[in-house]
Amino acid sequence: MKKVIVIGNGMVGYKFCEKLHKADQNSRFSISVYGEEHLPAYDRVHLSEYFTKQSADSLLLASKEWYEEKNIELITGTMVTRIDRENKKIVTHKGTEAHYDILVLATGSVPFVPTISGTDKKGVFVYRTIEDLENIIQFGKEVKSAAVLGGGLLGLEAAKAAFDMGLETHVIEFASRLIPRQLDANGARVLQHELEKLGLTIHLNKSTREISGNGRLDALTFTDNSKLDVDMLIISCGIRPRDELAQKSGLKTGERGGVIVNDLMQTSDPHIFAIGEVALHNNMIYGLVAPGYEMADVVVKQLAGEDKKEFNGFDMSTKLKLIGVEVASFGDALAESSPHRPIIWQDALSGIYKRINISEDGSQLLGGMLVGDAGDYNQLLQITKNNLTLPPNPEDLILGKRAETDAHEGISLPDNAQVCSCEDISKGDIVEAIKAGGLEKLEQVKAVTKACTGCGACTPMVKDIMNDCHKAMGKTVKQTICEHFSYTRQELLDIIKVKKIKSYDDLLNAYGKGDGCEVCKPVIASILASTWNELIVNQDTIQDTNDRFLANIQKGGSYSVVPRIPGGEITPDKLIVIGMVAKKYELYTKITGGQRIDLFGARVDQLPDIWEELINAGFESGHAYGKALRTVKSCVGSSWCRYGLHDSVSFAIRVEERYRGLRAPHKLKSAVSGCRRECAEAQSKDFGIIATEIGWNLYVCGNGGANPQHAVLLAGDLDDETCIKYIDRFLMLYIKTAEPLNRTATWLNKLPGGIDYLKDVVINDSLGIAKQLEQEMQFMIDTYKCEWKEVVNNPSLRARFKHFVNSEETDSNLHYEVVRDQKVPAAWG
């Protein structure tokens, strides 16, 4: 039996052990793995989750019992200090020795700490291990501000941790843009804008000269002589391979670090392999987990005597969520290696930037990047990697569905397409596993194939492949919301209604499992609000900042105040009140496209006082912060316009006051136009009403935004009451059956039978539920309460609107400047 010793029990070391045990069917190998930390291997990819769960067990890749069951000797809390290559043995810091036949170096890397004066001061941390995070958490309780040195992927992960701790957070980047290896200047600018809107401060082109303080950090001084006062510093400037052990033993290493390996991952000693972040392959250190897993597989296949496999580089495509902002890059993202023509689409208002690089002849997708909306990442990655045929108009890949065509229509992955790069799993592997094992749930597919268990970026595509496979097998596909509930959104809504469940915890205890997640919690909060019409702020599990404080958080950390102005109609007295409130609290004032007046720049502690004045003047919440009815826009109609056919203002006010506060899977917008000139733009709304000579035309399922889609005609020439009745039915059907966060346009696109089916249900009552839908809507109308009025009149709810739970201090970090005689957040950077 050959003795295999693995030095390093990180993610790659663990994966090597797992793969070798699985391949060692004849028990030819004895495996020992040494780790310096006291814990077994844990998931560093999702390390930031420790800040919310603060549980190391939830991050473990395998328990100590797993190693025992597999007859793998796990030695934790032990550092290997010497390799005796001549006698093929290792020596630990405890003086123990062990002989090997095969040695695998999986020592990983350490954070790179620049040579800056003061890095040894109290309050300076690196971001690498659970121990690092525990130290950051403890120190963070004593301070108010933090800076992160490094604006790359790891730096922004560290910034998220500081931000989630409630600290004023600064990101300091030497380069001229954030994550320069993944994004171009425009994409980085959009990302920076979105992060600054959340309250982070970004400092670009900054080189730190000194970390000052009398034994404890109090400021950073930059080479341009500027200074930043800060209480804590997290250094995240990249990694350096841990190759000191290899160097001492005489193995060949690179000039800038890393153990030199060939395509078989062999070092200069044929009995020693190196994998993961310590391995230098073709002058490249790979800082992602997927290449490390691939390297582990290369070594295992050699040892197991299988077909020889070589490591020939690795695609560094990645998809992440950085402080709530989706970012992805794939293929040749910056188009640095080949001639190309870029196609770029940007929506500055929504914070979305998309770029794809097409070959000069238009036949091939070379790569690209996505900021703000990475929903198409998996599809675009597969098109790139498998050189699939592009649609006639390649721009459709990022513009989405236009007219009657779908950009992805006809694009089908071949069976050999690699879906999970972390585990090298192809589409064919997944399909074969589903068919052979009768797998019905995503968790089963994960367990059998190991897909989705690395970085997790392939999860949406694996789920799509599973659903397609089930459909091809004649099975019914069920869209459960997450692993904690084996139910669809519609089924959960029915359970909540029938069982009269009023809280998330009661639903989880009775019909779910585990502790829940960031997917199911807001979905359940929305369903509860849509069912019982109770105050959203009374739901303990709600995670959305906007709903928690009944206001949209804005750039710089201030909040907006948006009172409802039904139909856009407002009296002079109410206009005066808005002006007085805006002047008193120094709020930026803007008339919006939805015919309302938005007030920006309020501190969170000011919100109840501002709303008290507005409530007393007859205003109510405009729900600009919620997945609810926003506005019903109107033209002036027959009251003033010489072309007007009906009183669109009065009807718009009636519609808005009827559906105000109605919670739904996504936001709802409406409009009423007094004639076919369509000045209220009703056909771009979730439901729009247009006057005809004898009544109203009702249009449904339109929306603007990133993927605009015209509404379609549901019914024509309706009288007032019939129009209202159809809207009641339509909205309640949407609320009951839509998937989470699907706008009405997306819902209709997915609805079997499309608009014809919708007409049949709403108009012809083909399902026999019309009366029920109308009654449910009437319940929502009868139980409506203005959320802000309830908060204003409830001392315990008002008490929640403070910056600090243990102090009456206000946020001194909000900074503004004056533009056109109004204050706006201070200029970025």
Q: What is the pLDDT of residue 467?
A: 83
The single-letter code of the amino acid at 23 is: A
Nearest to 179, CA basis, from 368, 329, 23: 329
Q: Catalogue the long-range contacts made by 405-414 (C-beta closer than 8 Å, 24 or more residues apart).
A: 408/379, 411/379, 411/383, 413/382, 413/386, 413/388, 413/465, 414/386
According to DSSP, the β-strands at 559-561 and 588-591 are unpaired
Name 166's Cβ contacts closer than 8 Å, sequence gap at least 6.
none
Q: Beta strand 219-222 with 208-212: parallel, antiparallel or unpaired?
A: antiparallel
78 vs 379, which has greater pLDDT? 78
Return the structure tokens found at 138: 């403890």
How distant is the alpha carbon of residue 290 from its chain centre? 20
Measure the CA angle with vertex 278, ends 274 and 283; round to 5°: 95
Asked whether 689 and 675 are in contact (CB, 8 A), the reply is: no
| Amino acid 705: pLDDT | 64
Helical segments of 685-828, H only: 720-737, 744-750, 754-762, 770-782, 787-792, 795-798
Is the pLDDT assigned to residue 740 strictly greater than 50?
yes
What are the pLDDT digits (tens) for 397-412? 887 644 334 444 445 6
| Secondary structure (3-state) at 779 | helix
d(CA 590, CA 635): 19
- Where residue 450 falls among pLDDT bands split at 50, 70, 90? confident
- pLDDT for 219: 94
Beta bridge pairs of residue 110:
240
Please answer whether residues 683 and 710 qualify as being in contact, where contact means their C-beta atoms are separated by less than 8 angstroms: yes
What average pLDDT does the structure give for the chain?
88
Residue bearing the bigger pLDDT, 593 or 32: 32
* Residue owning tokens 């670090």: 257
Query: Whole-angstrom Cα distance, residue 574 to residue 565?
Result: 10
C-alpha 339, offset from chain centre: 32
CA distances from 779 to 156, 526, 632, 775 (A): 46, 17, 21, 6
Spatial strand order of the sheet with 232-235 comes to 124-126, 232-235, 145-149, 168-172, 201-203
* pLDDT attached to residue 303: 93
- For the ranges 138-147, 369-378, 670-679, 687-696, the lowest mean pLDDT is seen at 369-378
Say if residues 308 and 339 touch (Cβ distance below 8 Å).
Answer: no
pLDDT in tens, 209-260: 999 999 999 999 999 999 999 999 999 988 999 999 999 999 999 998 999 9
Task: Report the 10 Å Cβ neighbour count for 333.
Answer: 25
> 683: Cβ–Cβ under 8 A, 6 or more apart, which residues?
690, 699, 702, 710, 711
What is the mean pLDDT of the segment spanning 108-133? 92
Residues 77, 531: Cα–Cα separation, whole Å: 53
Q: Answer whether 646's CB lies under 8 Å from 682's CB.
A: no
Residue type, 430: I
Location of structure tokens 């309706």: 718
What is the structure's pLDDT at 403?
A: 37
Q: What is the pLDDT of residues 267-292, one digit of tens each?
A: 999 999 999 999 999 999 998 888 99
Who contacts 644 (Cβ-Cβ below 8 Å, separation ≥6)? 635, 636, 637, 638, 674, 675, 691
Q: What pLDDT does residue 102 have?
A: 96
Q: For 53-104, how does the pLDDT look when each residue is reduced to its tens digit (9 = 90+)?
A: 667 888 899 999 999 999 999 999 999 999 999 999 999 999 999 999 999 9
**Where on the phi/psi map is residue 131: left (φ > 0), alpha (ψ -120 to 50), or beta?**
alpha
Residue of higher predicted confidence among 539 and 524:
524
Burial class (CB in 10 A: 0-12, 13-18, 19+), 367: buried
> Domains of the chain by range and CATH?
2-110+241-303 (3.50.50.60), 124-237 (3.50.50.60), 318-399 (3.30.390.30), 418-472 (1.10.10.1100), 489-543 (no CATH), 555-782 (3.30.413.10)
Of the pLDDT bands very low, low, confident and very high (cuts 50, 70, 90), residue 427 is: confident
% of the chain at pLDDT higher than 70: 95
Q: Report whether 337 contacts 313 (CB < 8 A).
A: no
Q: At what angle do helices 185-198 and 153-164 cross, to 10 degrees?
A: 10
pLDDT of residue 754: 87
AA identity, residue 496: I
User: Is 60 exceeded by the pLDDT of residue 813?
Assistant: yes
CB atoms within 10 A of CB 82: 14
Mean of pLDDT values over 567-590: 92
pLDDT digits (tens, 9 = 90+) for 470-509: 888 877 666 777 878 888 888 899 899 889 999 888 999 9
Q: What pLDDT is stored for residue 470 in this prediction?
A: 84
Hey, which of 8-17, 446-455, 673-682 has the most confident mean pLDDT?
Answer: 8-17
Q: Decide: 762 and 726 in contact? Cβ < 8 Å.
A: yes
Residue with tokens 């076919």: 676
Helix, strand, coil in percent for the chain, rounding step 5: 35, 25, 45
Looking at residue 3, its pLDDT comes to 96
The set of residues, in sequence order, having a beta carbon less than 8 Å from that of 262 and lying 6+ positions away, is none
CA 264 to chain centre: 37
For the four alpha carbons of 780, 781, 787 and 792, in that order, the dihedral sign comes to negative
CA torsion through residues 428, 429, 432, 438, sign: negative
Between helix 442-449 and helix 459-472 the angle, nearest 10°, is 110
What element of type H or E holds 298? helix 289-303
Q: Is beta strand 102-105 parallel, antiparallel or unpaired with respect to 272-274?
A: parallel
9-44 pLDDT tens trace: 999 999 999 999 999 888 899 999 999 999 999 988
Q: Which residue has the higher pLDDT, 519 or 588?
A: 588
Q: Is 291 helix (H, G, I), strand (E, B) or coil?
A: helix
Q: Does residue 561 register a pLDDT over 60? A: yes
How confident is the model over 463-475, as pLDDT tens digits? 888 888 888 887 7
d(CA 639, CA 652) in angstroms, rounded, equals 13
